[in-house]
Amino acid sequence: MTDALSLVDDWGPEKIVVVSHRRTGMKGVLVIDNTARGMGKGGTRMSPTVTVGEVARLARVMTWKWAGVDLFYGGAKAGIAADPASRDKEAILRAFARALSNEVPREYVMGLDMGLTESDAAIIQDELGDRGAAVGTPEHLGGVAYDRLGVTGYGVAEATDAAAQHLGLPLAGSRVAIQGFGAVGSAAAQRFAELGTTVVAVSTAHGALHNPTGLDVGDLLAARDEHGDHFVTRHYDGTPLPLGSELTVDCDILVPAALQDVICRTTAQHIKARLVVEGANLPTSPEAQFLLAERGIAVIPDFVANAGGVVAAAFAMDSRYSGFRPDTTTIFETISTRLRANTVTVLDEARRRETTPHTAGRTLAEERVRTAMRSRGRIPLA
């Protein structure tokens, strides 16, 4: 079991709240990492394997992500240890929301992450009787439909385009392998196709699909929508591969957009891509990052590449009590502008400091958070 006090360092967490409810069996945790630049904001996930350490780690990523994209919220994350397919999901969600009513929405606003849907966000709002309690609600309730719009995946593709141009790798015609074909991976694939790339591999939880001459993204999306994820890996125009093999196929650009900790040192030795763009949170271990750098493979960090979701969340936060929906055109334009600029800034900083983009990007984010902490009197002025 994680000792919560062992998680505390110079940045946070500022607050860890563990909650439970005996009748529903609900067990959950909220971690508010650092609020120097604004109130805690980050998604809420539901998974049987949720741990305090995992949620704290993800809350820290949110601290750097908000600072990296230069938006004024703080890092936070919540998790519910339950099966999202459970028949008791609604009762568990309501119990979780009630248990955190002291913190939500005054210190933390719930959002969508693994295992939660737009309808779940609406249930949280309903339980607390406050439109400000959650973002990511259905569009017909005034929310920003992240998954339908594909904002995170769109941002991943835009960041990739900026990185490819910066590295002298023309995106049009480049071969892209994508791990994951969920909300992030499929939206990224769709945008990649629009930008003229060739998607040569995708994967779901059921396996991977590879075609060195290119997969038809439109057909794959239609197949998934009609038959489910399992059908994607058996599609007619590709060769099924064992799950994980998509990370090491011959390609120019690799986008891990599914799970954390999938690229270790061993895997990094076999990656053939010239550019890795982290669509998922924490997919690449620190050892793998340095090994890839030694091999001349650039890695765009998660808190830069997949920040399209937090840009959209910032719009959703502003509109929680408004009678008007945020303009989606403005959201997409802002995602593109900010993520492209941040990608180039991080790559330039990495080159200047002679370090990895992760280290360079984290240093920039740390400087922004440290400045805010100092201004608020949370650390000495000297």
Cite the active site residues: 77
- 65 CB neighbour count, 10 Å cutoff: 27
Residue 366: pLDDT band (50, 70, 90) is very high
Q: What percent of the chain has pLDDT over 90?
A: 86
Question: In percent, how much of the chain has pLDDT > 70?
Answer: 99
Averaged pLDDT for residues 180-184: 92
Per-residue pLDDT, 1:
58
What's the confidence (pLDDT) of residue 255?
98
Over residues 72-93, the pLDDT tens digits come to 999 999 999 999 999 999 999 9
Using the predicted structure, report yes or no on whether residue 236 has a pLDDT greater than 70. Answer: no
DSSP state of 30: E
Of 331, 292, 336, give the one whose Cα is nearest residue 157: 336
Of 92-96, 112-116, 364-368, least confident by mean pLDDT is: 112-116
Question: Does 160 count as an annotated binding residue?
Answer: no
pTM: 0.89
Is 330 exposed, middle or buried, given 0-12, 13-18 or 19+ CB atoms closer than 10 A?
A: exposed
Give the pLDDT band of residue 281 (cuts 50, 70, 90).
confident
The full set of domains in the chain, from first to last, is 4-62+75-141 (3.40.50.10860), 146-320+332-381 (3.40.50.720)
Rounded to whole angstroms, how far apart are CA atoms 262 and 264?
A: 6
pLDDT at 7 over 80: yes
Report the 10 Å Cβ neighbour count for 380.
7
pLDDT the model gives residue 24: 97
pLDDT confidence tier of residue 218, bands split at 50, 70 and 90: very high
15 is in an annotated binding site: no
Q: Is 41 annotated as a binding residue?
A: yes
Confidence band of 233 (pLDDT split at 50, 70, 90): confident
Residue 93 CB neighbours (<10 A): 28
Lowest-confidence segment of 228-232, 280-284, 288-292, 301-305 by average pLDDT: 228-232
Helices (H), the chain: 52-68, 89-99, 118-128, 146-149, 151-166, 183-194, 217-227, 229-232, 265-268, 286-294, 302-305, 308-318, 328-353, 357-375
Averaged confidence pLDDT in the chain? 94
Task: Count CB neighbours of 167 within 10 A.
Answer: 11
Average pLDDT of the segment spanning 143-169: 94
